[in-house]
Structure 1
Amino acid sequence: MSEERITTHRSASGRNGFARWLMVVIPVALGLLFFVPTPYYVTRPGSAIELAPMIDVEGGEKDETGAFMLTTVRMGEANLAWYLYAQLSPDAELMEKELVVGKGESNEDFTRRELAVMDNSQKIAEAVAFRMAGYDVKVENQGVWVMGTVDNMPAKNVLKIGDVITSVDGKKMSRKEDLLGYLSEKRKGDSVEIEFTRDGKKQKQTLVLDQLPQSKNAGIGIRPEDKQEIIVPNRVTISSEGIGGPSAGLMMTLEIYDQLNTEMDLTRGYQIAGTGTISLDGTVGRIGGINHKIVAADKAGAEIFFAPQDDQGPISNYEEALATAKRIGTSMKVVPVRTVEDALVYLRSQPLKKS
């Protein structure tokens, strides 16, 4: 009998030891999974958001029986858990951090750039839509927009994302070509006086040029874009709710134009999603993460999806979108577009959806 009690006691002691071991191992494992960083960002399907509640055009009409929707991608720094998830899920993708946030940039820099690019995309969408509706639109070049700074270069600790360079050494800089052309005549060690605006206030700084990485030229080390003032005749209010990036340009253009165009409901009663940048000439450009946007649109019940038919990669955005649509077995129609006019031609050809 005493031997049986000893055996039982040892079994209980073993179970208690195992339980204590688990109490130590499980928190450590969870800590490793959720708090150990990786050199990656993870992207996955976001959402499809109706544009009519977000956009108001003065003098326009919201008579849509269907809806235009922008699509988003969820993105965040990948801990070990997200890294493992991305290895297993076809709807998650890893990207090296330096492809998302430039070397030496902070997450705040990335956010500022994405919101600035979204603001510019909105203005271009307004210009294209109003021109298509027959209105005069005024476009003025304001200077060179700083969309990023290069690590260990002169501009790094002086200029910020969103600054607008208006002159160098007293010479007006209306476009990025003006700046690049002027600096191409300079050498490493030369000084230049930069005049720029930040949050509406003018500032001046003197920078000493350095050799640009992977280049024979000297420069200040920025990612330049053209900053333009676009003036449309009617006020447009867009509540983008913190959504960043340029990829909603096409769909915002369609929504604004539909509110201006009182002759026809362009949605024809359908749920229409899509993506693509928009240029002032109406060209629709390539975007990233279109596979995730197809999944998001399908989950939201979209019936039509506009995808850029671009020539900027091994395969076009449209081909990427079509492959994902086939993989998930959606009935959503994926439509290739090179210009906003392509989208309009397709929509005008569609029969009214029967309710």
Structure 2
Amino acid sequence: MSEDHRIARTSHPRKARGIRWFFTIVVILLGISLFVPTNYYVTRPGSAIALGPMIDVEDGKKDETGSFMLTTVRMGEANLGWYVYANISDEADLMQKQLVVSEGENNEDFVKREQAVMDNSQKIAEAVAFRLAGYDVQVENQGVWIMGTIEGFAAKGVLKIGDVITAVDGVRTPQATDLLQQLSGKKAGDQVEITYTRDGQEAKTMLTLKPLPNSQNVGIGVRPDNKQSIVIPKKVTIASQGIGGPSAGLMMALEIYDQLNTDLDLTKGYKIAGTGTIALDGAVGKIGGISHKIMAADKAGAEFFFAPEDEADPNSNYKEAVQTAERIGTSMQVVPVKNIDDALAFLQDQKQKPKQS
């Protein structure tokens, strides 16, 4: 055997060992990146989930030929690996942590808040759907629902997510605006008596006011919402499967309304996805992460997508949704909605989808 062949044969193992070491180092670095935190959350496309199996209306019908689908966004704290991925991928975005969770709020608090908001959204969706179907719905404002507390303020460590403030200095506060009204005109250092309920039990506490960030007003440091008692004439069960946030309001209202109308199939055989908060008057509100929801709906085969529209907003959900739909080349039609009536009018204009043979 020639010397050249001996050299060639002995050099291959060295080269192989070098390649193995290279990939070993890469794997180690990737592993380390999983434990390096950042000050960001990463968002990605979630799922488009049919609401029919999730929602049951007493004496309602479930014979629709198509489906209404809520859409979700996958969100989590971004480690270094996800940070790098989000900067090179069109399917992931970064959000600064302080835009997702309040200072001093942990991930558990965030999950509780999102679930509480989802519960409230469900109740409002039920009220809207039953009213549209001609039923009497009773709505009573019960107080100011605590969705979170701010670090460094008196409410932190005293009030919890889910508590309901019912009075300030003995004056009832049925809505969040009433809380603001009772605190207006007061100054930093003043103390107020807060009456609140927790797990059905009433309690009182004295809290000292501080200047609110980026505001000329003082406050106790809470993220408020309206807690309402909504009484509907039939039982509705919603298995939300741990999904949080208010953005499924519109689609839940449509599904409930469809089940209440036993002689009508709103879907007409189509897969209909969408997003948007819902108010008691049926108004549809803006949400976050709509680009990811468009991608999720497209992947699930949706044919229509309802997107909140605000013509005065240059960055409205609808405009962003259309841009994303064009970018990914979907055949799904994006439909602008300002009110649930817009969605219903669009559906009524559609012809029944031919059955596939």
Q: Which amino acid is 1:318 matched to?
A: Y
TM-score, with structure 2 as normaliser: 0.93
Match of 1:106 in 2: 106
Q: In the alignment, what sits opposite 2:274?
A: 274
Aligned letter for 2:220? I
**Which 10-residue stretch deviates more, 108-117 or 304-313?**
304-313
**Aligned CA-pair RMSD:** 2.2
Aligned partners of 1:286 and 1:312 also within 8 Å: no
Range moving further from structure 2, 312-321 or 339-348: 312-321
Distance 2:16 2:261 in 1: 74
Q: Quote the offset at 1:10 in angstroms.
A: 9.5
**Secondary structure, counterpart of 1:35 in structure 2:** coil
Change (3 A) 1:227 1:17: same
Secondary structure in 2 matching 1:343: helix
Give the secondary-structure state (helix, strand or coil) at the position aligned to 1:124: helix
Aligned-partner Cα distance in 1 for 2:66–2:16: 62
1:122 correspondence with 2:128: no
Aligned-partner residue type, residue 80 of structure 1:
L
How far apart are residue 147 of structure 1 and its match? 1.3
Residue 308 (structure 1) aligns with: 308
Q: Distance in 2 between matches of 1:94 and 1:26?
A: 24
205-214 vs 115-124, greater mean Cα deviation? 205-214
The amino acid of 1:180's aligned partner reads L
**Counterparts in 2 of 1:61-80, with a 5 A limit?**
61-80=61-80
Structure 1 residue 16 displacement after superposition: 9.4
Say which is worse superposed, 235-244 or 318-327, in terms of deviation.
318-327
- Alpha-carbon separation, structure 2, partners of 1:47 and 1:94: 19
- Amino acid corresponding to residue 131 of structure 1 in structure 2: R
Residue 256 of structure 1 is matched in structure 2 by: 256
Please give the per-residue CA displacement for 1:32-77, whole angstroms capped at 9, x wherever unaligned: 3211111111111100000010000112111201100000001111
Distance 1:277 1:33 in 2: 36
TM-aligned CA distance change 1:12 to 1:46, over 3 Å = closer
Which string of whole-angstrom CA distances, capped at 9 and with x for unpartnered residues, describes residues 127-157 of structure 1?
A: 0000000001000000001112111111111
Shift in Å, 1:297: 0.5
Change (3 A) 1:292 1:24: closer
Partner of 1:83: 83
Q: Is 1:186 the equivalent of 2:201?
A: no
Alignment size in residue pairs: 353
* In structure 2, C-alpha distance between the alignment counterparts of 1:299 and 1:8, rounded to whole Å: 51
Q: 1:92, CA displacement in angstroms?
A: 0.9
**CA distance change for structure 1 residues 13 and 131 in 2, over 3 Å: closer, same or farther?**
closer
Q: 1:265 to 1:13 in 2, by over 3 A?
A: closer
1:148 and 2:148 correspond = yes
User: How far apart in 2 are the matches of 1:23 and 1:70?
Assistant: 42
Deviation readout 1:228-247 (Å, 9 max, x if unpaired): 11110101000000000000
Shift of 1:199: 2.1
Q: Which residue of 2 aligns with 1:93?
A: 93
CA distance in 1, matches of 2:52, 2:83: 36
**2:40 maps to 1:40:** yes
Partner residue in 1 for 2:56: 56
Name whichever of 59-68 and 206-215 sits farther off: 206-215
Q: Distance in 2 between matches of 1:340 and 1:258?
A: 13
> Superposed, which structure 2 residues align to 1:130-209 within 5 Å?
130-209=130-209
| Deviates further, 268-277 or 162-171 | 162-171
Structure 2 Cα separation of the partners of residues 63 and 8 of structure 1: 72
Confirm or deny: 8 A CA contact 1:211 1:218 kept in the other structure.
Answer: yes
Shift of 1:112: 0.8
Q: CA deviation at 1:8?
A: 9.9
Q: Does 1:346 align with 2:333?
A: no
Match of 1:295 in 2: 295
Unmatched 5+ residue regions in structure 2? none
Distance 2:20 2:256 in 1: 63
| Structure 1 residues 183 and 312: CA distance shift in structure 2, 3 A | farther
Shift of 1:28: 3.8
Distance in 2 (alpha carbons) for counterparts of 1:267 and 1:24: 53
Query: Which shows bigger deviation, 139-148 or 312-321?
Result: 312-321
TM-score (norm 1): 0.93
User: Comparing 148-157 with 238-247, which one deviates more in the overlay?
Assistant: 148-157
In structure 2, distance between residues paired with 1:7 and 1:114:
66
Q: Which residue of 1 aligns with 2:242?
A: 242
Tell me, in whole angstroms, the C-alpha distance in 1 between the residues paired with 2:177 and 2:298. 41
Segments of 4+ moved more than 4 angstroms: 6-24
1: CA distance between counterparts of 2:133 and 2:272? 20
Given the superposition, is the C-alpha separation of residues 223 and 26 from structure 1 closer, same or farther in structure 2, using an over 3 Å criterion?
same
Cα drift, residue 282 of structure 1: 0.4
SS in 1 for 2:146: strand
Asked if 2 retains the 8 angstrom alpha-carbon contact of 1:166 and 1:173, the reply is yes
- Distance in 1 (alpha carbons) for counterparts of 2:293 and 2:235: 30
Taking only the aligned residue pairs, the percentage that are identical comes to 65
Instruction: Return 70-79 or 6-15, whichever deviates more.
Output: 6-15
Q: Supply the distance in 1 between the matched residues of 2:14 and 2:116 (Cα, whole angstroms).
A: 61
Three-state SS of the structure 2 residue aligned to 1:111 is helix
Aligned letter for 1:308? P
The gaps in structure 1 that reach 5 residues or longer are none
